[in-house]
Every structure is written in C-alpha cells, then in structure tokens.
C-alpha cells in the first residue's frame, strides 16, 4: 500500500524503550523479520538477547515471526 518507508521507521519513544527491555527488542526483531529486513531483525534480536532474552530454544526453533531470518541446514542463506 506504499507504506513501507513509514513501516520501517521506528518511533523514537519505542526505540528508547526497546533498547532497555528484552521483550520490546524482540517484538521489533519480529516485525523486521516479517518484512524481510534480516539485518535489522538480527540487530534487534541481538539486543534482546543482550538484555536478558535468553530463551534460545524458542528463538531458534519456535518463534514463527522469526522464520524469515532463520538459517536452516542445507539453506543457501
């Protein structure tokens, strides 16, 4: 719908919270993953982990919103 640039801009207040809270950072990683912004998704996923979001099994295998950034064995990515 022509809204991609708006979608990809992060509200300053939300970004401030997300840099201090693992759940917010993961939510942003999920959103970037959904729109195939792999690098930004990985940056926010790393931020979430650094803030204490350490449920690696969930992140690696089960979070369906991160499917676009997972590298599977045999994958060319």
pLDDT computed for residue 51 by the predictor: 94
Whether the per-residue pLDDT at 6 is higher than 80: the answer is no
Average pLDDT of the residues in 21-50: 91
Q: Under a CB-based contact definition with an 8 Å cutoff, are residues 71 and 36 in contact?
A: no
At 8 the pLDDT is 67
pLDDT score of 39: 93
Rounded Cα distance between 20 and 23, Å, is 9
Q: What is the DSSP letter of 73?
A: T
Which pLDDT does position 12 carry in this prediction? 83
Structure-block tokens of residue 34: 């959904």
- CA-CA distance, 52 to 47, in Å (whole number)? 9
| 10 compared with 42, residue with greater pLDDT | 42
Instruction: Measure the CA dihedral 33/21/18/22, to 10°.
Output: -10
């Amino acid at each position: 719908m022509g809204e991609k640039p708006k979608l990809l801009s992060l509200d300053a207040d939300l970004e401030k919270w997300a840099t201090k809270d693992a759940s917010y950072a993961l939510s942003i990683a999920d959103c970037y993953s959904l729109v195939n912004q792999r690098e930004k998704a990985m940056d926010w996923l790393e931020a979430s982990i650094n803030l204490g979001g350490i449920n690696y099994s969930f992140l690696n295998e089960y979070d369906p919103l991160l499917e676009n950034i997972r590298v599977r064995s045999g994958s060319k990515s």
